[in-house]
């Protein structure tokens, strides 16, 4: 992955770039590319989760053919400020097929103790998050949700903390994993 260092940040922090996203496939985010009409839902995306703000069930197959950045989030974490960068990335590349999927989790340091309303208030009102956010879930251990189990199996990497990221290519099969410090 070609990750670029930001000049105003400590050198240990890395940021996603268009090049990093494009490295997932020959057409990860080409300008003007349309989502393939015949894009079948990959097995990895065959899951339903309640939406954060109203618990309406959301089928992940609606994102088939898009580049997905899946992030386990927490409201009271040193990485919570990453919401700003994630929203900026979503705003910049959503028209080209990037979708960020946020999964709040209380698995690490009990840093997401709040209710759905409290989490939604922080995401939408404090950070202006517009990308899809789902209800609080488990992302590690034996009780983790099936989607995260598949992501871990595909990458041989499990979240070690909040704001761990999985990047899924348009094919719904190619998956890369990024540690929490990667912005």
Give the helix ranges, DSSP H, for the chain.
18-22, 82-93, 116-120, 146-155
Helix (H, G, I), strand (E, B) or coil at 19: helix
Question: Which residue in the block uniquely carries the two structure tokens 């839902």?
Answer: 41
Q: How confident is the model at residue 15 (pLDDT cuts 50, 70, 90)?
A: low
Catalytic residues: 77
Q: How confident is the model at residue 41 (pLDDT cuts 50, 70, 90)?
A: very high
Mean pLDDT, rounded, for 18-39: 45
pLDDT in tens, 117-170: 999 999 999 999 999 999 999 999 999 999 999 999 999 999 999 999 999 999
Pseudo-torsion of CA 163, 147, 52, 34, nearest 10°? Answer: 90
Q: How confident is the model at residue 21 (pLDDT cuts 50, 70, 90)?
A: low
Specify the pLDDT at position 20.
Answer: 55
pTM, to two decimals = 0.82
What is d(CA 49, CA 135) in angstroms, rounded to the nearest whole number? Answer: 7
Mean of the per-residue pLDDT values of the chain: 85
Helix (H, G, I), strand (E, B) or coil at 135: coil
Specify the pLDDT at position 144.
Answer: 96
pLDDT in tens, 61-99: 999 999 999 999 999 999 999 999 999 999 999 999 999
Closest by Cα among 138, 118, 144 to 52: 118
């Amino acid at each position: 992955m070609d990750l670029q260092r930001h000049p105003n940040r400590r050198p240990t922090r890395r940021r996603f770039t268009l090049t990093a996203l494009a490295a997932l496939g020959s057409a990860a985010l080409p300008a003007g590319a349309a989502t393939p009409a015949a894009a079948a839902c990959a097995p990895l995306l065959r899951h339903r989760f309640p939406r954060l703000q109203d618990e309406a069930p959301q089928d992940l197959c609606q994102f088939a053919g898009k580049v997905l950045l899946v992030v386990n989030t927490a409201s009271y974490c040193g990485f919570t400020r990453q919401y700003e960068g994630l929203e900026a990335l979503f705003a910049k590349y959503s028209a080209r097929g990037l979708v960020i999927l946020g999964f709040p989790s209380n698995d690490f340091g009990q840093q997401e103790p709040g209710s759905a309303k409290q989490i939604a208030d922080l995401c939408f009102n404090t950070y202006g998050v517009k990308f899809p956010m789902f209800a609080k879930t488990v992302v590690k251990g034996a009780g983790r949700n099936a989607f995260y189990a598949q992501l871990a199996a595909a990458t041989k990497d499990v979240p070690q903390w909040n704001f761990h990221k999985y990047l899924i290519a348009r094919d719904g099969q190619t998956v890369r994993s990024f540690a929490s410090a990667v912005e």
